Every structure is written in structure tokens, then in C-alpha cells.
């Protein structure tokens, strides 16, 4: 049976080619399609369209001389171009399955599971192997992150009364100044990783995007709290900035994620909880509480991904160890934590300049450092480090916390 | 210089992409010592082909007509090499507004027709020849004829490769002081319809030319026979399924190269004579043509 399609009054300049394409689709190359219709330019259009798409109009129906109008049916012989174009096409993995072990750079930006036409420029992504970027928990963490996005304008009651003694307020402002600096580093790092990640690892890409968005909000709320009392912001120390900048320079996906999320943001969980606990006002307590919730997800991915890689390759522990040691030696000559930040933490916990209060604050900060250390050791042990090595590496972590 | 040197006209920046890409493929997998040079217009390219300054030329149909005449006058042999699948059996149409009282070519007597550039085979020379077959004498606005020709000279020297003039002629059907009919190639009638320049249903095709052929690859007297043969074989062997070639073939507007044929240029030869565009020896005779 001959294939036919009737375009009625539809022209090829008005979408009629969709019907022709649909009718040609099931035919093999060389198959014939009869097109009927009443559009006055149907034959002229069909001849031009077929030529452009590698099909042919049979001579009998091409018409000649001055003959115009739709005339009788037009017979088309299907060409081979469509089949040739898709001959070497391959699917970019499976849409509903986990990502492939190796993402082909030639898949480029194609959706996972899409049928990818051969050709075009390969994507310049550095991370194309699943083991180097993946964690099984990534899809769930992304879903949780997407569901937990909060609006800085409404999640914090910015109109709450601010009755903080001047000197305590200065300590809060100093801490906020320090937090902004750290969150800016924590924003740039996932953004940088994102730019070198093969999009085949969709859930990791999405998670890193939410991570960067989280940090953007943190930068906003910490800045806003820092300026709430109308004063200038606090100080930024050279040593603190140097410590953060070593993170920006980390070239490898996993070591960058390990140093930032497992050790840095892991340590920050304790810091933010401490600020929340000792906050002299509701706004400070709120911004710390909101940030710690987001940071917990970042830490969870960093730990899960690093553990995933180590489970596949134990020797990777050596690479992680080296990254900690390298960062430590790079920072040997720097002062570490901004003393103004440290003193501010003491004052925040003390709540006043009374000697007894300062003593309480001092002890609280010592306890904070101990719990930071304990948290790092626990996460390092989870990843696969023996306890003694975990303790040693935790001790080498930057004094600047992040 | 050894090898084969092709001349092509730079009617669009993409010409560099196309011939750089083809050159890499012809030299690499093809193993052919090949290079190309670009021309700003077809007349100089044709003169250089016949004089042996380039070995092969990627010729417009009008360039082929002139090359053939120049070569015949000088006793030089030209060898057709190949053409695109899209170069065969094209037609030009004369379109009028859908509600126009004009029902036949003869009705255009005393009216104005918009055409493409002076040297456009598809939008000027061939459709005006079609008018002559209906007994009409096309003439410039100040000339003595039955039909006034309003020409839209865009990209003169490119033999109609630049479609700007054709698009302007189509637009002029609906502009202030409109033309009564516009001459365009079939594929541009469809293109302008899809672009919205000629909204669907706004025009009617009054008449169409018989089918004619378009571009052709021509080897000149300086081309080495073996290299020319190999060049033709390589072009004919280009596979649209090849991921490296496909983007180039798409840019050049073909799915496959075909063997050349020369019978598709008779209509244009006649149109050129009628218009006095070139003489029998291939000299340019059109007084208002400045490529």
C-alpha cells in the first residue's frame, strides 16, 4: 500500500511540512509518499522542501512550464539523509538509571538518556568519571536541598528589636564579617567544580548548584546582620584570607570537596551552632540556625562522596592525607585565625566583660575547639582513616576553622 | 605550485568555514594536495579559471555560462567535475499578491515587476526570460518595454548568492509604492513564507520557470587530470553520515555531491543572450553591471 498524506489547505509555509515529515517517518529510504492538498503553492513548496531535505519529487508530479497551482497529487521519494544523520547516534546513558561509569565528553550538554547525534565539539569538562564525583546519596540530598530553600527576606525577622550592648554588638559584627568571607569561598568552590563537571552527573551538578545558592543566601544574611546596627563591618586578616585561598587553588574535585565540605564546613557546623547558642539577639540566632541546616547537607555530600571513592580505592586515603598536609605546610607561616574573631567568640559566650564571664566564655570556646576536633575525627574515621591518623589529620586542620 | 587550487566566492563568512573544513578533509583522509582561494565576485574567478590561475572553480550557473563562453572563444577546455544534489531542477516563480487582478503573465503588461540583483540568475535573468516567452518586453523604469523592472541590487557580483535583493523584491509586493509581481526562487518563496516576509496565503504563484540547474564545479586548463579526477571522486564519496563532514555539507547546503550535467543551463544561456548580459565570447555587456 502506498503511503499518503492530505494537507487539506495547509501550506508548507504554515506548518504543512510537519505532516509530510510525519508521513515520511515510517518509510524506508526510497519509499514513496503521495501528498495531496489544495494550497495553491503546494507543488512549488514541496519541490523546494524536498530538495533541501534530500528527498525527491518524482518527475511525473513535478509539473512543467508555466503550470502552477496545487494540481494533482505530488509523489515524493524519501532520501537517505535522515538515516545517515542518525546512523552513529548513541544514547547518553540511561535517563532513569544511575549515571554511567564514564561520561563521554562527546555527549556534551545532552540530557542523560538522550539520543545523541554523532559530531560536534566535545565538552571540555575535567571530571568525566563517576567515581571521581559521585555519591549514591546525591539524588536524595539534592531533593532535600531543593525542598529546603528559604527566602532571606522572610525566613529572618529583620524587624526584631536589637538590644545588644555596644561591645557585644561589635563582636557579633566581627563574627559576621568573618562568616561572609568564608561563605564567599564556600560559594566559589562548588561553582568552580560545577564548571568542570560533566553534566551527565546531573544530580551532583544540581546539588552543587544548590550549594552555591545556599552560600549566596548565607553571604546575604550575614552581611545584613553585620550591618543591622548601622556600624561599619569588622576586620579581615591576611592569614584568614590566605587560608581560604588555599581552598580555591585545590585542583582536584574530591580533595576540594574533602577540604571544603568534610573538614571546613564540618568544622563550621560546630561554629554556627555555637553562635546560635550564644547569640545575643534573635536575628543572629536565626541566621546561624538557617545556615547550619544548609551546611549539614554540604557536609553530608562531602563525606558520602569521599567515602564512596575510598571504598572503591583505599589508596585514595593517601591522596586525601597529602592534601591536608599540603594545605598545612602552605599555611605554616600564616597567623591562622584572626585574633579579633577568636576574641569575639569568647566575648559572645561571656556576654560581658566581667572576669568571671570572660572565664566562662574562654572555656566555652575551648570546648568548641574540642568538639570541632571530635567532629572532624569522627568524619575522617567514617571515610576510612584509622583513629590515630584521623586524630593527626584533624590536628593539622587550619586554625581558621574553614 | 603543485596540487589543486580551487576558487570560491566569499558571498558569506561561512565560506571560510566550509572550505577550511573541506580542505582539511581532502588533505587528511583524502590525501589530496588541495588548497583554495577566495574571490569577492564571480567575474574575476571565472577569468582566473579560464586563464589557468586557479585549477577549479566553484561556479554559479551564470559563472558557468560565462566560463564556457570565454573558454570556447579562447580554445580552452573546461571539465565539469560535480554538482550538489540541491543544484538540480530548481525553478523560479513570479508571485503576485493573493488578491491581485493579475491572472496571467500577459496581465503584467504595463505593470511593475520586482527582481533581485542585476546578476541573479534565479531572481532576475531567468524570470525575465519567462516574461519574454509570454511576449512581454521587460525594461528599466526609463526604458522602452511592456513591463517595468524594479531591480533590487544587493550583493552585485555574487550572482544572486546573497538573497537580500530577492527578499527586498518580495517585501516590495506590500511596501509603499508596491510592485505588482516579484521574482524569487522556489526555495526562497518557501523561506520568505516561513519567515513571515510573505505571510502564508498572502501571495499567489502566477507562473514558474521550467526546471534549471544551479552551481557546478568546473576544472580549468591548468588542472592536472589525475588530481581533478581524484578531487571529483573524493567529493562524490563524501558521506552525510560522517560526523565531521555533515556540518560542512549542511553549511554548503547539500546532502550529497552528484556527477555534473550540463543540459540544465540551456535556459540560462538563452536568458543571458536575451538580456545581452554577456556576449558570445563571454565579455560583460550589461552596461549597468559593476561587480
- CB nearest A49 (choices: B190, B207, B247): B190
In a domain, A45, yes or no: yes
Chain A positions with Cβ closer than 8 Å to B: 11-14, 40-41, 44-45, 47-49, 51-52, 54, 62-69, 79-81, 83-85, 87-88, 117-120
The model's confidence at residue B28, banded by pLDDT at 50, 70 and 90, is very high
Edge to edge, the sheet with strand B92-97 lists B138-139, B147-151, B112-115, B181-185, B92-97, B203-208
pLDDT digits (tens, 9 = 90+) for A264-317: 999 999 999 999 999 999 999 999 999 999 999 999 999 999 999 999 999 999
- Domain B4-87+213-275 matches domain B92-208 at the CATH topology level: yes
CATH code at B92-208: 3.40.190.10
Residues A267 and A390 in one domain: yes
Q: How many domains does chain A have?
A: 3
CB contact under 8 A, A68 and B89: no
Residue A31 belongs to domain with CATH number: 3.30.110
Q: What is the 3-state secondary structure (H, E, C) of chain A?
A: CCEEEECCCCCHHHCHHHHHHHHHCCCCCCCEEEEECCCCCHHHHHHHHHHHHCCEECHHHHCCCCCCCCCCCEEEECCCHHHHHHCCCEECCCCCCCCCCECCHHHCCCCCCCEECCCCCCCCCCECEHHHCCCCCHHHHHHHHHHCCCCHHHHCCCCCCCCCCHHHHHHHHHHHHHHHHHHHHHHHHHHHHHHCECCCCHHHHHHHHHHHHHHHHHHHHHHHHHCCCCCCCCCCCHHHHHHHHHHHCCCCHHHHHHHHHHHHHHHHHHHHHHHHHHCCCHHHHHHHHHHHHHHHHHHHHHHHHHHHHHHHCCCHHHHHHHHHHHHHHHCCCCCCCCHHHHHHHHHHHHCCCCHHHHHHHHHHHHHHHHHHHHHHHHHHHHHCCCHHHHHHHHHHCCCCCC
Residues A159 and A241 in one domain: yes
Contact in structure between B125 and B268 (CB atoms under 8 Å): yes
Q: CATH classification of B4-87+213-275, choosing from 3.40.190.10, 1.20.210.10, 3.40.50.300, 3.40.640.10?
A: 3.40.190.10
The reply to whether ipTM tops 0.90 is yes
Write down the pLDDT at residue B187: 97
Quote the CA–CA distance of A12 and A375 in Å, as a whole number. Answer: 68
Residue numbers of B between 9 and 48 with CB closer than 8 Å to A: none
> Residue B85: its chain A contacts at CB < 8 A?
51, 54
Write down the pLDDT at residue A1: 60
Residues A38 and A52 in one domain: yes
Please give the mean pLDDT across all residues of chain B.
96
Quote the CA–CA distance of A352 and B181 in Å, as a whole number. Answer: 92
Residues A194 and A288 in one domain: yes
Residues A139 and A162 in one domain: yes
Query: B16 by DSSP, 3-state: which?
Result: helix
pLDDT digits (tens, 9 = 90+) for B56-110: 999 999 999 999 999 999 999 999 999 999 999 999 999 999 999 999 999 999 9
Write down the pLDDT at residue A68: 53
Domains of chain B: which residue ranges? 4-87+213-275, 92-208
Residues A51 and A98 in one domain: no
Residues A95 and A185 in one domain: no
CB contact under 8 A, A54 and B189: no
For residues A187-201, average pLDDT = 96
CB contact under 8 A, A79 and B205: no
For residues B150-159, average pLDDT = 96
> Residue B205: its chain A contacts at CB < 8 A?
40-41, 44, 68-69
> Residue A11: its chain B contacts at CB < 8 A?
193, 200-201
In a domain, A305, yes or no: yes
Percentage of residues in chain A having pLDDT higher than 70: 96
Domain hosting residue A163, numbered range:
130-396
> Residue B211: its chain A contacts at CB < 8 A?
62, 64
pTM over 0.80: yes
pLDDT digits (tens, 9 = 90+) for A33-92: 999 999 999 999 999 999 999 999 997 766 544 445 566 899 999 999 999 999 999 999
How far is B73 from chain A, CA to nearest CA, in Å? 32
Cα angle B84, B89, B94; round to 5: 125
In a domain, A390, yes or no: yes
Percentage of residues in chain B having pLDDT higher than 90: 97
Neighbours of B177 (CB within 10 A): 7
Write down the pLDDT at residue A331: 83
What chain B residue is nearest to A83 in terms of C-alpha separation?
B241
Contact in structure between B91 and A47 (CB atoms under 8 Å): yes
- Among A84, A116, A146, the domain boundary falls at A84
- CB nearest A41 (choices: B134, B205, B246): B205
Residues A267 and A373 in one domain: yes
In a domain, A139, yes or no: yes
Write down the pLDDT at residue B1: 54
Residues A181 and A325 in one domain: yes
Q: Is the pLDDT at A335 greater than 70, yes or no? A: no
How far is B256 from chain A, CA to nearest CA, in Å? 8
Q: Is the pLDDT at B46 greater than 70, yes or no? A: yes
Residues A35 and A60 in one domain: yes
Residue A221 belongs to domain with CATH number: 1.10.620.20
In a domain, A401, yes or no: no
In a domain, A118, yes or no: yes
In a domain, A402, yes or no: no
Residues A221 and A313 in one domain: yes
Percentage of residues in chain B having pLDDT higher than 70: 100
Written as one string, the DSSP assignment of B138-187 is EE-TTS-SSEEEEE---STTSTT-STHHHHHHHHTTTSSS--SEEEEEHH
Q: Is the pLDDT at A333 greater than 80, yes or no? A: no
Query: B212 by DSSP, 3-state: which?
Result: strand
Amino acid at each position: 500500500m502506498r503511503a499518503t498524506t492530505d494537507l487539506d489547505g495547509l501550506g508548507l509555509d504554515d506548518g504543512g511540512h510537519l505532516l509530510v515529515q510525519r508521513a515520511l517517518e515510517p518509510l524506508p529510504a526510497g519509499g514513496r509518499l503521495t501528498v495531496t492538498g489544495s494550497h495553491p503553492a503546494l507543488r512549488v513548496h514541496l519541490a523546494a522542501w524536498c530538495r533541501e531535505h534530500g528527498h525527491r519529487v518524482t518527475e511525473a508530479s513535478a509539473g512543467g512550464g508555466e503550470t502552477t497551482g496545487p494540481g494533482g497529487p505530488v509523489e515524493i521519494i524519501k532520501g537517505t539523509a535522515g538515516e545517515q544523520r542518525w546512523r552513529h547516534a548513541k544514547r547518553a546513558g540511561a535517563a532513569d538509571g544511575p549515571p554511567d561509569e564514564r561520561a563521554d565528553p562527546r555527549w556534551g550538554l545532552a540530557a542523560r538518556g538522550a539520543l545523541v547525534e554523532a559530531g560536534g565539539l566535545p565538552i571540555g569538562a575535567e571530571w568525566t568519571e563517576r567515581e571521581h564525583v559521585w555519591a549514591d546519596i546525591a539524588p536524595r540530598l539534592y531533593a532535600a536541598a531543593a525542598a529546603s530553600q528559604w527566602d532571606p527576606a522572610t525566613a529572618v525577622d529583620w524587624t526584631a528589636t536589637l538590644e545588644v550592648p555596644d561591645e557585644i554588638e561589635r563582636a557579633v559584627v566581627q563574627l559576621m564579617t568573618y562568616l561572609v568571607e568564608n561563605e564567599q569561598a564556600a560559594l566559589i568552590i562548588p561553582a568552580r567544580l560545577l564548571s568542570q563537571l560533566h553534566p551527565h552527573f546531573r544530580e551532583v551538578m544540581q546539588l552543587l548548584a544548590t550549594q552555591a545558592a545556599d552560600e549566596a543566601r548565607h553571604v546575604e544574611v550575614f552581611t545584613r546582620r553585620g550591618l543591622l546596627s548601622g556600624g561599619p563591618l569588622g576586620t579581615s586578616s591576611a592569614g584568614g584570607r590566605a587560608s581560604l585561598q588555599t581552598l580555591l587553588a585545590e585542583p582536584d574535585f574530591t580533595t576540594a570537596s574533602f577540604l571544603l565540605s568534610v573538614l571546613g564546613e564540618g568544622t563550621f557546623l560546630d561554629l554556627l551552632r555555637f553562635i546560635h547558642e550564644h547569640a545575643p539577639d534573635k536575628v543572629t540566632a536565626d541566621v546561624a540556625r538557617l545556615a547550619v541546616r544548609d551546611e549539614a547537607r554540604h557536609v553530608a555530600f562531602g563525606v558520602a562522596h569521599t567515602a564512596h571513592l575510598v571504598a572503591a580505592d583505599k589508596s585514595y586515603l593517601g591522596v586525601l592525607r597529602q592534601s591536608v598536609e599540603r594545605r598545612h605546610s602552605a599555611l605554616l607561616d600564616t597567623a591562622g585565625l584572626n585574633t579579633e574573631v577568636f576574641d569575639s567568640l569568647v566575648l559572645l559566650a561571656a556576654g560581658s566583660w566581667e572576669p568571671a564571664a570572660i572565664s566562662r566564655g574562654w572555656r566555652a570556646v575551648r570546648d568548641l575547639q574540642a568538639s570541632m576536633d571530635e567532629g572532624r575525627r569522627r568524619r575522617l574515621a567514617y571515610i576510612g582513616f584509622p583513629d590515630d591518623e584521623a586524630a593527626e589529620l584533624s590536628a593539622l586542620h587550619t586554625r581558621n576553622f574553614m | 605550485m603543485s596540487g589543486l587550487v580551487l576558487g570560491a566566492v566569499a558571498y558569506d563568512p561561512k565560506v571560510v568555514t566550509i572550505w577550511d573544513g573541506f580542505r582539511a578533509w581532502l588533505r587528511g583522509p583524502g590525501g589530496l594536495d588541495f588548497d583554495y582561494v577566495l574571490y569577492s565576485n564571480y567575474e574575476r574567478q571565472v577569468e582566473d579559471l579560464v586563464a589557468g590561475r586557479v585549477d577549479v572553480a566553484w561556479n554559479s550557473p551564470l559563472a558557468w555560462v560565462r566560463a564556457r563562453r570565454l573558454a570556447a572563444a579562447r580554445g580552452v577546455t573546461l571539465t565539469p567535475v560535480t554538482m550538489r544534489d540541491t543544484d538540480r531542477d530548481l525553478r523560479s516563480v513570479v508571485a503576485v499578491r493573493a488578491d491581485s487582478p493579475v491572472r496571467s503573465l500577459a496581465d503584467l503588461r504595463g505593470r511593475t515587476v520586482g527582481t533581485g540583483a542585476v546578476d541573479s540568475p534565479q531572481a532576475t535573468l531567468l524570470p525575465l526570460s519567462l516574461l519574454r516567452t509570454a511576449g512581454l518586453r521587460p525594461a528599466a523604469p526609463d526604458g522602452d518595454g511592456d513591463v517595468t523592472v524594479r531591480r533590487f541590487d544587493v550583493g552585485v557580483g555574487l550572482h544572486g548568492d546573497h538573497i537580500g535583493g530577492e527578499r527586498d523584491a518580495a517585501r516590495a509586493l506590500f511596501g509603499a509604492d508596491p510592485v505588482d509581481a516579484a521574482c524569487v526562487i522556489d526555495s526562497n518563496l518557501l523561506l520568505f513564507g516561513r519567515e513571515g516576509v510573505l505571510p502564508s496565503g498572502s501571495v499567489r504563484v502566477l507562473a514558474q520557470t521550467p526546471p534549471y540547474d544551479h552551481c557546478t564545479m568546473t576544472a580549468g586548463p591548468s588542472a592536472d587530470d589525475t588530481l581533478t579526477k581524484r578531487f571529483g571522486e573524493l567529493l562524490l564519496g563524501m558521506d552525510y553520515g560522517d560526523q565531521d563532514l555533515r556540518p560542512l555539507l549542511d553549511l554548503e547546503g547539500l546532502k550529497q555531491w552528484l556527477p555534473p550535467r550540463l543540459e540544465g543551463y540551456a535556459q540560462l544561456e538563452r536568458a543571458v543572450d536575451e538580456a545581452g548580459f554577456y556576449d558570445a565570447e563571454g565579455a560583460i555587456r550589461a552596461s549597468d553591471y559593476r561587480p
